[in-house]
């Protein structure tokens, strides 16, 4: 099992690196799906089968599909790939890479400082999660619902085809 | 269940998070930036799940679910914005939209 | 209620003036005039009642008191009181308010309603400052007078008005915030001491504060009042604000706003922190003396007539500082005389400068000259005001400066002697105005018209008061005598809390019985 | 009517006239203005004579009258009132002020006739007379100060009467500011006296001073020096004398009244009035004498070199007041006041005469362009001659002889005086006679260079004649005992001023000294006659040597005092003002705001609108926070 953890981790890291280095959006998205799936495996290994399922269904399924739809809508072809190639010079990577490296070192240092005992490894199943969700986190769930609603409305409004809107007075002027 | 070393999983989350960050910093294409954000969100979710597993509590997963719902809302709005952005500027270059400078 | 009436007449009058002007053109100034005249009438009535008191020789204090609970949770009351000092200041406010209204009578062309609104609200704020005996209320009015003044400068001012208005606002606001901090400090110290949290003046007066704390708190107040006054290192907002403000604004700024600083020192700093103030007396007096001489020197250097007059204010206010920190009755009486004298004479000088600017289109001394021939009345008015400014005996400014210096002399001979050099300085810069504006050959070809009837009346009223009070200052000295006595008695390290309490309750009772 | 009530009427009359002329001046015709203008002072002069008559006839208690008008200031222990007090000293002064003032006003009604601002002139003159009366009648020092500043103001206004010439304005300003410097010393003296005695009432102070202070007390010395500062400023003595010659920019009647007869002697009055304090401070009193002696010499030499007739008179005024100071300084109080009175008569006359000459000669001030006037203007010539005789102190026949001789003798004989001071005064007497004779000879004799345009009218000549009478006969009320021994004046003064302490000298030396001084002035006149009438070539040859030219110029410019003040005081101050016109302190707040704007620009630079940049800063921030949390 522990081997599975490391394998999945390696896949996740590798595919994520691929995501951020691809020029073609569709390729990147497919690597992202791989990354998400491997994280789902990790979830399962960490005793969260419900979360793993959600990861596969919602993230890798729904959200990524959304991305792909958009990529299709925008007709990103050869042109955009070329542009990406232009943008992604090696020099672009140095600054962010350095920042991230420093951060990583610091984080690892901080993590290693805490002498955390390993333990647990217990499965927390969907029932427990459900009880928690609709018990103490009731309000948060409702807030999340409202957030989703807002997301829907926002997406609808933003995604709408904009027509040039003129004030009625201006329209009259145009007509008259 | 086999115990997975806590440190390792958290380091993994950190690595993923920072990869997301690197993506965010390097890419000019807004679509890729959104993807990087997703990676970072995922990394955060991973830490919650690790915590949930370590203490055998449901709260970590609950948090993960909230992150998930937030991420989906964000993606929905974000993608709608990208579409509008593309219509307006006819490119996905974020630097094209730097009107907000002081 | 008469006290609240004084303030609310102006506030409501201002509102009406602002709102009705759109509907009925030209009504705003009449409403303002009505409000101010009504106020003046009330004030004269109060003063007659008050003066009857001292004319028949009783030395009793007379107060008008109004206390209404306002925000009882925080111990805030709507608490106004009027004593001799307040009465003099409020009457000065009423009088100069009327003058500033009259000088703007025909000269406001844009946003007329808003102009009169601001004018009246500033005046209301100033009156409130002079009347409030609840420190929270005091702070409120302190801000109320500030904001409309900012608008007056920034909308109706001269060319560089935005800069001046910002400068004015930032300086005074900075002081105001420091004061607010000190005020809250006082509030909490008093509250934790007695268990009753209150902003009441008399209660706060009884607070016993440690020396370190009290000097910190005092500096909060002092910086606010020093900026307002203004005292040397904080004075540089004043020439800009005075020079750029419209005439009425300059009159109010010089005549009244500066006085709130002095009033604050007298009413709050000295009674609240007698020991700390006494230990700060020497530096304060040195600042005052520097202000006198430095202000005089700068006034001499100016070519813009309004800036010149503004710097004379710095010089004259230096006398106020040394007088206050001399800690004796004579100097303190002189300070109050100086407030009145400076308010009248400098206010009128600004009016005259405004008239000159309006006629000639310039405030530059180098471009003026030889005006006496064409405008003798203006020349005479200018002469008298200039003489008042240089402290000629017979005019009230002399009475004030003499009292201050004589009082200061008993406290510190050297300081008084150096301050007296300011009199030479005053002669130098004041006569420069006469020399440049009215003497010499006429520089502009276009002839200008002399003072109109209205302007003559305005200036004559001021001149009459200057002369009358200069030869017979008793109406003021006697009116403020009890207040001064009380301020001084505070500094004599005797907390007169108890004695005062009894007297005070009697008076409250009296006021409650018949709020004449 | 009570005699004391006359006092306030005397003071009020000129003020009333001032108000009338100030308000209605424009509407009145010239004749009416003239009548009104002289009526006030005329009434006052009449009342003064009436008052003086009854004062001398039936002296009131303590030889003083007082009249309380109203309380002026009453605050914190300072109680002063508008009260007038008349004693022998002020009686002499108000007599001179109202009487000479009246004559000068009469003269002015013609002299100023064609000037613009006729009513304004008389308004100022009346205001001046009123203020001067207050000065000498005040019963407390503060009221005295009111009059003191009031006359200063009028002097300012009248010097700058012809305001269209900026030079006049500057002269007026100079006069006001120079005297203000002295006034400031005076007012500090007032503070000191108030702090010491708790009152400013003169009589109270004078009676309390000897009890409080021993002779030579440092506080008394300080007070005396401060009062002296005021007196020096007003009376144009060293070192504040430079304003007086420039003050001649005013109309001649003004010079006559203010800058010769009355105002400039206010310092003499002040010192005489506060004599007790000076007696308690011998050092200060010596200083008075030394200042007087020095001034009389320096001014005398300057007068010798002037060409402008009015400037000669101005310097001679300084010189004569120097005599009065000398007298005050040695304790010859009464002699000083006597000389003041005589000086007022003849100096007013000289100025009026000079004014008349200048008027008829097209405003020509330079006496070397005049000449031969004695036939053309006989009245002016004879009156001028009498006054000049008095100024030169020609023995026996002139009033000036008696007063100046009294001063010289008492200087010699006084306990605090001595031979040195007498000698200085003696030299001064010689020079006085010399420059006076020079003035008369140059102006009236020799060739006629400018024809007079008109003959002065009656209103000009009459005051001249009256004043000439007084300049001639005024001296006879006080004759030395070598010559008749009349002591009307000092008999009057003894009620107000203390007696002179005479040191142990031979009585006979008085006669010797009188003869010496008398001869000296005659010799000086003779010398002038030789130099300016007989042998003009001698003067010219003397003038040609460079040393003489240098000295001449130096004296002509008043011993370089003006230049010195200019370079030492005026120029640095003006320079400082110019470079610091915009207030150094302002730079602090301006600097603050500049720094704010700079930081704002820096921050604005970071807001470049690039999301990646913002992200990078967030990352950087994260690194920083983490680093800090690790390090701590």
Say whether pLDDT at C53 is over 70.
Answer: no
Three-class DSSP category at C66: strand
Q: Are A129 and A118 found together in one domain?
A: no
Q: Which band of pLDDT confidence, cut at 50, 70 and 90, is reported for residue D27?
A: confident
How does pLDDT run across C405-451, given as a tens digit for each residue? Answer: 888 888 888 888 888 888 888 888 888 888 888 887 777 666 777 77
Nearest CA distance, D148 vs chain C (angstrom): 9
* D620 with A96: Cβ contact below 8 A: no
How does pLDDT run across C456-487, given as a tens digit for each residue? Answer: 888 899 999 998 988 888 888 888 887 888 88
Q: Closest partner residue to B68 among A48, A58, A156, by Cβ?
A: A58
* Of B91 and C141, the one with more pLDDT: C141
* A110 with D630: Cβ contact below 8 A: yes
Nearest CA distance, D583 vs chain B (angstrom): 34
Whether residue D339 has a cis bond before it, omega within 30° of 0: no
B57: domain CATH number is 1.10.287.3510
**What percent of chain D has pLDDT above 90?**
1
Q: Which band of pLDDT confidence, cut at 50, 70 and 90, is reported for residue A170?
A: low
**What percent of chain A has pLDDT above 70?**
88
Residues A159-167, mean pLDDT to the nearest whole number:
67
The interface pTM score, or ipTM, of the predicted complex is 0.74
Residues C227-247, mean pLDDT to the nearest whole number:
86
Nearest CA distance, B13 vs chain A (angstrom): 9
Report D:303-322 residues touching C (Cβ under 8 A). Answer: none
Subunits with 3+ Cβ pairs within 8 Å of B are A, D
Nearest residue in A to D627, CA atom? A106
Residue C18 lies in a domain: no
Residues D551-556, mean pLDDT to the nearest whole number:
76
Q: In angstroms, what CA-CA distances link C111 with C116, C482, D104?
A: 9, 44, 59
Distance CA D188, CA D575 (A): 28
With a CB cutoff of 8 Å and minimum separation 6, the contacts of C313 are C238, C242, C254, C258, C295, C342, C346
Residue D117 DSSP label:
T
Residues D138-155, mean pLDDT to the nearest whole number:
88
Q: Where are the domains of chain D?
A: 1-205+231-258, 304-313+334-544, 583-631
pLDDT on residue A176: 46
Is B94 touching A (CB cutoff 8 A)?
no
Most B CBs within 10 A among A19, A57, A100, A139, hence the mutation to make, goes to A100
Q: Are A48 and A63 found together in one domain?
A: yes
Q: Closest partner residue to B98 among D603, D605, D610, by Cβ?
A: D610
With a CB cutoff of 8 Å and minimum separation 6, the contacts of C278 are C327, C491
How does pLDDT run across D389-404, given as a tens digit for each residue? Answer: 888 877 777 777 888 8
Please, what is the average pLDDT of chain D? 82
Most B CBs within 10 A among D601, D606, D611, hence the mutation to make, goes to D611
Chain D residues inside the 8 Å CB shell of A106: 623, 626-627, 630
* D626 with A99: Cβ contact below 8 A: no
Residues C294-331: b if buried by 16+ CB within 10 A, e if exposed: bbbbbbbbbebbbbbbbbbbbbbbbbbbbbbbbbbbbb
**In chain C, count of helices (H) and strands (E)?**
22, 2
Residue C99 lies in a domain: no
Q: How many CB atoms lie within 10 A of CB C84?
A: 26
Residues C387-401, mean pLDDT to the nearest whole number:
88
pLDDT on residue C495: 41
* A103 with D623: Cβ contact below 8 A: yes
Residues D513-539, mean pLDDT to the nearest whole number:
77
Is C230 touching D (CB cutoff 8 A)?
no
pLDDT on residue C55: 52
Q: Can you tell me which residue has the tokens 């302002």?
A: D586
Q: Closest partner residue to A106 among D616, D620, D626, by Cβ?
A: D626
Domain housing B84: 28-91
Number of structural domains found in chain B: 1
Please write down the long-range contacts of C14-21, taking CB distance under 8 Å and 24 or more positions apart: C14/C116, C14/C117, C14/C118, C14/C119, C14/C120, C14/C121, C14/C124, C15/C117, C17/C113, C17/C116, C17/C117, C17/C120, C18/C113, C18/C114, C18/C116, C18/C117, C19/C113, C20/C113, C21/C112, C21/C113, C21/C116
Three-class DSSP category at C71: strand
Q: Which band of pLDDT confidence, cut at 50, 70 and 90, is reported for residue D38?
A: confident
Q: Are A112 and A140 found together in one domain?
A: no
* A63 with B38: Cβ contact below 8 A: yes
Please, what is the average pLDDT of chain C? 84
Please write down the long-range contacts of D20-23, taking CB distance under 8 Å and 24 or more positions apart: D21/D119, D21/D120, D21/D122, D21/D123, D21/D126, D22/C380, D22/D123
Distance CA C99, CA C91 (A): 12
Residues C182-206, mean pLDDT to the nearest whole number:
86
Nearest CA distance, A108 vs chain D (angstrom): 11
Q: Are A92 and A16 found together in one domain?
A: yes
Residue B11 lies in a domain: no
Q: Which band of pLDDT confidence, cut at 50, 70 and 90, is reported for residue C503?
A: very low
Q: Can you tell me which residue has the tokens 């004593």?
A: C83
* A107 with D630: Cβ contact below 8 A: no
Residues D563-578, mean pLDDT to the nearest whole number:
79
Residue D61 DSSP label:
G
Q: Are A63 and A138 found together in one domain?
A: no
Closest CA to C452 of C307, C354, C310, C333: C354
Domain housing A75: 2-122
Report C:296-315 residues touching D (Cβ under 8 A). Answer: 297-298, 300-303
pLDDT on residue B66: 93
Say whether pLDDT at A174 is over 60.
Answer: no
Chains A and B contact (Cβ–Cβ under 8 Å for 3 or more pairs): yes
Three-class DSSP category at C513: helix
Chain D residues inside the 8 Å CB shell of A92: none
Q: Are A87 and A158 found together in one domain?
A: no
Residue C505 lies in a domain: no
Say whether pLDDT at D520 is over 90.
Answer: no
* Poorest-pLDDT segment among C354-363, D292-301, D523-532: D523-532
Task: Tell me the two tokens of residue C152.
Answer: 């007056």
How does pLDDT run across D603-614, given as a tens digit for each residue? Answer: 887 777 778 888
Nearest CA distance, D614 vs chain A (angstrom): 12
pLDDT along chain B (102 residues), means of 10: 78 92 88 91 92 87 92 90 84 76 58
Chains A and D contact (Cβ–Cβ under 8 Å for 3 or more pairs): yes
Most A CBs within 10 A among B2, B16, B22, B50, hence the mutation to make, goes to B22
Is C33 touching D (CB cutoff 8 A)?
no
Confirm if D255 and D314 have CB atoms less than 8 A apart: yes
Rounded-to-5 percentages of helix, strand, coil across chain C: 80, 5, 20
Is C5 touching D (CB cutoff 8 A)?
no
Residue D414 DSSP label:
B
Nearest CA distance, D597 vs chain A (angstrom): 30
Nearest CA distance, B102 vs chain A (angstrom): 24
pLDDT on residue A39: 92
Q: Please, how many CA atoms are within 13 Å of residue D154, restricted to the half-sphere of its CB?
A: 28
Subunits with 3+ Cβ pairs within 8 Å of C are D
Say whether pLDDT at C200 is over 90.
Answer: no
Subunits with 3+ Cβ pairs within 8 Å of A are B, D
Chain D residues inside the 8 Å CB shell of B25: 612, 615-616, 619
Chain A residues inside the 8 Å CB shell of D630: 106, 109-110
Say whether pLDDT at A134 is over 70.
Answer: yes
Say whether pLDDT at D284 is over 90.
Answer: no
Q: Which of A122, A140, A157 is a domain's end point?
A: A122
Residue B99 lies in a domain: no
Subunits with 3+ Cβ pairs within 8 Å of D are A, B, C
Three-class DSSP category at C70: strand
pLDDT on residue A70: 87
Please, what is the average pLDDT of chain A? 84
Say whether pLDDT at D357 is over 60.
Answer: yes
Q: Are A84 and A133 found together in one domain?
A: no
* Poorest-pLDDT segment among A26-35, A103-112, A148-157: A103-112
Say whether pLDDT at C81 is over 60.
Answer: yes
How does pLDDT run across D51-104, given as a tens digit for each residue? Answer: 888 887 777 777 778 888 888 888 877 888 888 888 888 888 888 888 888 888
**Of the segments C476-490, D34-48, D464-478, which one has the largest average pLDDT value?**
D34-48
Chain A residues inside the 8 Å CB shell of D627: 106
Q: Are A18 and A99 found together in one domain?
A: yes
Whether residue D239 has a cis bond before it, omega within 30° of 0: yes
Q: In angstroms, what CA-CA distances link C431 with C345, C391, C465, D501?
A: 15, 12, 22, 46
Give residue ranges of D with CB < 8 Å to any A CB: 616, 619-620, 622-623, 626-627, 629-630
* D187 with C370: Cβ contact below 8 A: no
Nearest residue in D to A110, CA atom? D630
Residue B56 lies in a domain: yes
Task: Tell me the two tokens of residue A2.
Answer: 């522990």
Say whether pLDDT at C501 is over 50.
Answer: no
pLDDT on residue B12: 92
pLDDT on residue D337: 86
Nearest CA distance, D602 vs chain A (angstrom): 22
Q: Where are the beta strands (DSSP E) in D480-557?
A: 486-487
Rounded-to-5 percentages of helix, strand, coil across chain A: 80, 0, 20
* Of C212 and A143, the one with more pLDDT: A143
pLDDT on residue A120: 59
Is C392 touching D (CB cutoff 8 A)?
yes
Q: Closest partner residue to C387 among D153, D160, D177, by Cβ?
A: D153
């Amino acid at each position: 099992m522990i081997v599975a953890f490391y394998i999945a981790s390696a896949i996740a890291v590798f595919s994520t690196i691929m995501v951020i280095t691809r020029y073609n959006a569709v390729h990147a998205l497919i690597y992202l799906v791989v990354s998400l799936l491997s994280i789902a495996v990790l979830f399962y290994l960490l005793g969260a089968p419900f979360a793993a399922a959600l990861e596969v269904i919602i993230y890798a399924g729904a959200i990524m599909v959304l991305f792909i739809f958009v990529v299709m809508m925008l007709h990103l072809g050869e042109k955009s790939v070329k542009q990406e190639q232009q943008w992604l010079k090696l020099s672009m990577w140095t600054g962010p890479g350095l920042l991230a490296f420093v951060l990583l070192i610091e984080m690892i240092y901080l993590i290693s400082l805490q002498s955390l005992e390993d333990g647990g490894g217990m499965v927390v199943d969907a029932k427990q999660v459900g009880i928690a969700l609709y018990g103490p986190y009731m309000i948060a769930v409702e807030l999340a619902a409202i957030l989703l609603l807002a997301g829907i409305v926002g997406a609808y409004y933003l995604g709408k085809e904009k027509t040039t809107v003129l004030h009625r007075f201006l329209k009259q002027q145009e007509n008259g | 269940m086999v115990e997975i070393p806590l440190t390792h999983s958290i380091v993994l989350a950190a690595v993923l998070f920072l990869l997301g960050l690197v993506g965010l910093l390097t890419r000019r294409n807004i679509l890729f930036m959104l993807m990087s954000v997703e990676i970072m969100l995922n990394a955060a979710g991973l830490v919650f799940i690790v915590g949930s597993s370590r203490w055998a509590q449901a709260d970590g997963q609950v948090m993960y679910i909230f992150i998930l719902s937030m991420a989906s809302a964000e993606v929905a709005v974000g993608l709608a914005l990208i579409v509008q952005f593309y219509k307006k500027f006819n490119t996905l270059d974020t630097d094209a939209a730097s009107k907000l400078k002081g | 209620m008469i006290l609240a009436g004084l303030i609310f007449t102006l506030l409501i009058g201002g509102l009406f003036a602002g709102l009705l002007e759109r509907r009925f053109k030209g009504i705003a100034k009449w409403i303002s005039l009505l409000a101010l005249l009504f106020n003046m009438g009330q004030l004269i009535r109060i003063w007659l009642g008050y003066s009857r008191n001292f004319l028949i020789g009783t030395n009793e204090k007379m107060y008008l008191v109004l206390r209404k609970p306002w925000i009882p949770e925080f111990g805030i009351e709507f608490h106004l009181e009027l004593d001799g000092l307040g009465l003099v200041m409020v009457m000065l406010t009423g009088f100069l308010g009327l003058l500033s209204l009259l000088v703007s009578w025909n000269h406001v062309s844009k946003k007329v309603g808003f102009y009169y609104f601001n004018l009246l609200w500033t005046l209301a704020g100033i009156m409130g400052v002079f009347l409030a005996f609840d420190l929270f209320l005091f702070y409120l009015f302190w801000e109320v007078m500030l904001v409309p003044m900012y608008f007056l400068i920034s909308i109706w001012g001269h060319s560089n008005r935005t800069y001046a208005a910002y400068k004015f606002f930032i300086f005074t606001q900075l002081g105001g915030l420091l004061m607010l901090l000190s005020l809250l400090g006082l509030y909490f110290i008093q509250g934790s001491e007695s268990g009753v949290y209150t902003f009441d003046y008399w209660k706060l007066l009884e607070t016993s504060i440690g020396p370190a704390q009290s000097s910190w708190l005092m500096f909060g107040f002092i910086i606010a009042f020093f900026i307002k006054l203004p005292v040397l290192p904080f004075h540089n907002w004043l020439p800009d604000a005075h020079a750029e403000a419209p005439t009425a604004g300059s009159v109010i700024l010089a005549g009244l706003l500066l006085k709130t600083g002095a009033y604050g020192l007298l009413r709050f700093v000295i009674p609240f922190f007698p020991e700390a103030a006494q230990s700060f007396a020497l530096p304060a007096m040195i600042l005052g003396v520097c202000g006198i001489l430095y202000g005089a020197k700068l006034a001499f250097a100016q070519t813009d007539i309004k800036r010149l007059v503004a710097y004379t204010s710095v010089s004259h206010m230096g006398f106020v500082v040394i007088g206050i920190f001399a800690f004796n009755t004579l100097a303190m009486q002189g300070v109050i005389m100086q407030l009145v004298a400076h308010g009248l004479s400098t206010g009128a000088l600004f009016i005259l400068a405004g008239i000159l600017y309006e006629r000639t289109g310039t405030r530059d001394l180098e471009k003026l000259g030889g005006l006496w021939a064409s405008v003798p009345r203006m020349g005479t008015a200018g002469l008298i005001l200039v003489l008042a400014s240089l402290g000629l005996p017979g005019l009230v400014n002399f009475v004030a400066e003499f009292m201050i210096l004589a009082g200061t002399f008993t406290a510190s001979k050297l300081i008084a002697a150096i301050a007296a050099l300011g009199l030479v300085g005053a002669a130098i810069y004041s006569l420069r105005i006469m020399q440049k504006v009215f003497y010499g050959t006429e520089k502009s070809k276009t002839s200008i018209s002399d003072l109109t009837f209205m302007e003559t009346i305005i200036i004559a009223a001021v001149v009459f008061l200057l002369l009358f009070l200069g030869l017979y200052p008793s109406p003021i000295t006697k009116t403020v005598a009890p207040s001064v006595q009380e301020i001084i008695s505070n500094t004599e390290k005797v907390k007169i809390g108890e004695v005062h309490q009894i007297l005070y309750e009697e008076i409250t009772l009296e006021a409650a019985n018949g709020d004449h | 009517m009570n005699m004391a009530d006359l006092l306030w009427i005397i003071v009020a009359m000129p003020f009333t006239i001032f108000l009338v002329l100030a308000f209605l001046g424009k509407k009145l015709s010239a004749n009416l203005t003239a009548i009104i203008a002289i009526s006030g002072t005329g009434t006052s002069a009449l009342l003064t004579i009436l008052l003086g008559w009854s004062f001398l006839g039936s002296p009131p208690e303590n030889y003083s009258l007082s009249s309380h008008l109203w309380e002026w200031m009453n605050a914190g222990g300072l109680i002063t009132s508008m009260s007038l007090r008349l004693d022998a000293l002020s009686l002499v002064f108000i007599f001179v002020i109202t009487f000479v003032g009246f004559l000068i006003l009469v003269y002015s009604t013609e002299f100023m006739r064609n000037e613009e601002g006729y009513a304004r002139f008389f308004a100022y003159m009346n205001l001046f007379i009123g203020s001067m009366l207050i000065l000498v009648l005040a019963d407390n020092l503060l009221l005295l100060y009111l009059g003191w500043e009031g006359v200063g103001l009028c002097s300012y206004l009248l010097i700058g009467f012809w305001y269209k010439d900026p030079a006049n304005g500057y002269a007026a300003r100079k006069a006001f500011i120079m005297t203000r410097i002295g006034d400031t010393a005076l007012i500090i003296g007032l503070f000191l006296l108030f702090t010491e005695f708790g009152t400013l009432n003169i009589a109270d102070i004078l009676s309390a001073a000897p009890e409080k202070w021993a002779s030579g007390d440092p506080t008394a010395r300080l007070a005396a020096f401060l009062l002296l500062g005021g007196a020096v400023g007003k009376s144009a003595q060293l070192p504040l004398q430079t304003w007086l010659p420039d003050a001649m920019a005013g109309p001649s009647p003004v010079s006559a009244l203010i800058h010769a007869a009355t105002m400039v002697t206010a310092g003499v009055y002040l010192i005489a009035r506060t004599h007790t304090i000076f007696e308690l401070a011998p050092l200060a009193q010596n200083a008075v004498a030394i200042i007087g002696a020095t001034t009389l010499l320096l001014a005398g030499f300057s007068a010798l070199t002037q060409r402008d007739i009015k400037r000669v008179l101005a310097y001679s005024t300084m010189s004569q007041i120097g005599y009065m100071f000398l007298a005050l300084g040695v304790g010859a109080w009464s002699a000083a006041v006597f000389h003041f009175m005589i000086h007022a008569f003849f100096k007013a006359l000289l100025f009026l005469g000079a004014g008349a000459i200048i008027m008829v000669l097209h405003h020509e001030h330079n006496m070397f362009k005049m000449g031969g006037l004695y036939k053309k203007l006989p009245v002016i010539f004879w009156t001028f001659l009498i006054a000049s005789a008095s100024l030169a102190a020609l023995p026996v026949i002139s009033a000036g002889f008696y007063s100046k001789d009294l001063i010289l003798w008492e200087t010699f004989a006084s306990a605090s005086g001595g031979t040195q001071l007498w000698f200085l005064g003696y030299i001064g007497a010689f020079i006085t006679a010399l420059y006076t004779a020079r003035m008369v000879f140059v102006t009236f004799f020799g060739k006629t260079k400018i024809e007079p345009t008109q003959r002065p009218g009656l209103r000009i000549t009459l005051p001249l004649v009256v004043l000439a009478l007084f300049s001639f006969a005024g001296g006879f009320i006080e004759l030395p005992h070598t010559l008749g021994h009349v002591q009307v004046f000092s008999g009057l003064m003894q009620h107000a001023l203390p007696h002179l302490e005479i040191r142990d000298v031979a009585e006979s030396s008085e006669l010797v000294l009188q003869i010496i001084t008398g001869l000296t002035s005659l010799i000086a006149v003779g010398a002038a006659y030789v130099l300016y009438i007989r042998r003009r070539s001698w003067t010219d040859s003397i003038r040609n040597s460079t040393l003489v030219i240098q000295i001449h110029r130096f004296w002509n410019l008043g011993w370089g005092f003006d230049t010195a003040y200019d370079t030492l005081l005026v120029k640095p101050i003006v320079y400082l003002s110019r470079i610091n016109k915009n207030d150094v302190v302002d730079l602090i707040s301006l600097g603050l705001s500049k720094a704010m704007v700079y930081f704002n620009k820096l921050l604005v630079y970071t807001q470049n609108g690039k999301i990646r940049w913002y992200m990078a800063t967030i990352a950087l921030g994260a690194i920083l926070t983490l680093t800090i949390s690790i390090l701590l």
